[in-house]
Amino acid sequence: MPILTVDLVQMLSRLVAIPSLNPMGGPGSGAHYGEARLTDYLQSLVEPWGIPCQRDLVEPGRENLVVRVDGEVPPECGGQLLLFAAHQDTVPVEGMTIAPFAAEVSGGRLYGRGACDVKGGMAAMLAAVARLARDRPPGMPTVVMACTVNEEYGFTGASALTRLWTERSGGIIPRRPDAAVVAEPTGLQVVVAHKGVLRWRAHTRGRAAHSARPEAGENAIYKMARALQALERYPRDVLGPLGPHPLCGPATLSVGTIHGGVSVNTVPDRCTIEIDRRLMPQEVPEEAYRQLIDYLAADAKTGPHVAHDPPFMLGYPLEDTANRALAQRLAAMVCEVSGQCRQVGVPYATDAAFFAAAGVPSVVFGPGSIEQAHTADEWIALDQLQQAAEVYYRLGSTGIRVS
């Protein structure tokens, strides 16, 4: 039987109504922060379906939830294993112009924080998993769905999930999956490649003094200003010659924040910036980090005056080399359902690259537009929600053989 639209919309409405804000590295105090309440709800939702369900601790109060629908031949006996994944967390709600958790439906859209990124994709996957558990189509693979934590600020949930097959044996994911599909708002296009991301803090030190006698101090902000000039030249000098990736575009660098000083009448003794470096497929994060540090150290004006923290966020890029068979199969199914589909690259990072790095051919696919993710009036189109659920079901019914 086809999925009833009202069931899918009601499921998404409930997911949006349960806040799961990522604290984004901060304390995140308050009931709206963290994924724990959503994880509890997801467990209560899937347990009546009569399928295995497992919670795995990633960080205190943050757990991945993994459920499994056995196929005709279980993976323990040589059957195919397909991984669906969607993250539980959302970005914060400051600046939103709509009620973030009201899940209002209007004009064929559902509004709310996470509706697009990525609870819409999660709802579509859950609907497909419920339908697979009910129908058990002949020849279906075993389908595992993982609801991961902390995608928006660290990818720790995805990294922890890979350890279920890289460091453990048996369990709900008994071996490396044959393929993975990660839900993100791709507009029903199949993302086969994306950029990676590195973020870290850099500091300059000075010596505090009264602003009436600035010559007695050493201004850390002035030091950082010289470093910023070098960072502004870096894309031209180093990244430009690399050329753009045909699907994802060029590597980029951005300085997003700067903090320094304690008052206007004190020479600042410390200044800190946050750096965002976007990586093209085939770039190695650790090499990109070291390359920029060496570039600043070699600059005559900057010299050794800049200290760098280890990255607080590292997301791998996704390459389009090992996922071609999966992408072609999925794109064909999307065309059957929606009438068109392209295989594309995108500039943002996702959990998919962590699965790919752990040996699993992976693509990104889901309902909604990235243009609506993280916005003040976030929404998702309900027709795409329904189409995505149908595509997930069809792939889960038949699977895909990958070399």
For residue 285, the domain's CATH number is: 3.30.70.360
281/26 Cα distance (integer angstroms) = 30
31 and 111 share one domain = yes
Let me know if residue 219 belongs to a domain. yes
152/154 Cα distance (integer angstroms) = 6
39/45 Cα distance (integer angstroms) = 10
**φ and ψ at residue 291, rounded to 5 degrees:** -60, -45
Domain boundary among 300, 315, 330: 315
Confidence of residue 352 (pLDDT cuts 50, 70, 90): very high
54 and 78 share one domain = yes
51 and 165 share one domain = yes
Q: What is the CATH number of the domain that holds 357?
A: 3.40.630.10
Let me know if residue 403 belongs to a domain. no
Instruction: Calculate mean pLDDT across residues 124-128.
Output: 97
225 and 137 share one domain = no
Q: Is the pLDDT of residue 3 over 90?
A: no
pLDDT at 263: 97
187 and 63 share one domain = yes
109 and 249 share one domain = no
Let me know if residue 380 belongs to a domain. yes
Cα four-point dihedral sign 37, 40, 44, 45: positive
Contacts of 94 (CB under 8 A, 6+ apart): none
How do beta strands 270-279 and 53-59 pair? unpaired
Let me know if residue 91 belongs to a domain. yes
207/184 Cα distance (integer angstroms) = 47
Domain boundary among 315, 340, 366: 315
178 and 204 share one domain = no
- Looking at the structure of the chain, the number of domains it has is 2
39 and 161 share one domain = yes
Confidence of residue 169 (pLDDT cuts 50, 70, 90): confident
pLDDT at 298: 93
pLDDT at 6: 47
pLDDT at 401: 65
| One-letter amino acid of 179 | A
Structure tokens at 93: 């709600």
47 and 173 share one domain = yes
Domain boundary among 294, 315, 336: 315
93 and 203 share one domain = no
Which of 98-112, 165-179, 309-323 shows the lowest mean pLDDT across its residues?
165-179
Let me know if residue 13 belongs to a domain. yes
158: containing domain: 5-194+317-398
19 and 117 share one domain = yes
Contacts of 31 (CB under 8 A, 6+ apart): 19, 37
103 and 218 share one domain = no
Q: Is the pLDDT of residue 403 over 50?
A: no
377/372 Cα distance (integer angstroms) = 8
The answer to whether 264 touches 211, Cβ cutoff 8 Å, is: yes
Q: Is the pLDDT of residue 1 over 60?
A: no
Q: Is the pLDDT of residue 4 over 80?
A: no
* Angstrom distances, CA of residue 350 to CA of 114, 150, 253, 294: 15, 11, 18, 28
Q: Which of 92, 119, 96 is nearest to 10 (CA)?
A: 119
Distance of CA 127 to the CA centre of its chain: 21
pLDDT at 2: 40
Instruction: Calculate mean pLDDT across residues 122-139.
Output: 95
What SS3 class is residue 82? strand
116/141 Cα distance (integer angstroms) = 28
Q: Is the pLDDT of residue 251 over 80?
A: yes
Q: Which residues pair with 90 in a beta bridge?
A: 21
Let me know if residue 64 belongs to a domain. yes
Let me know if residue 130 belongs to a domain. yes
Residues in the chain: 403
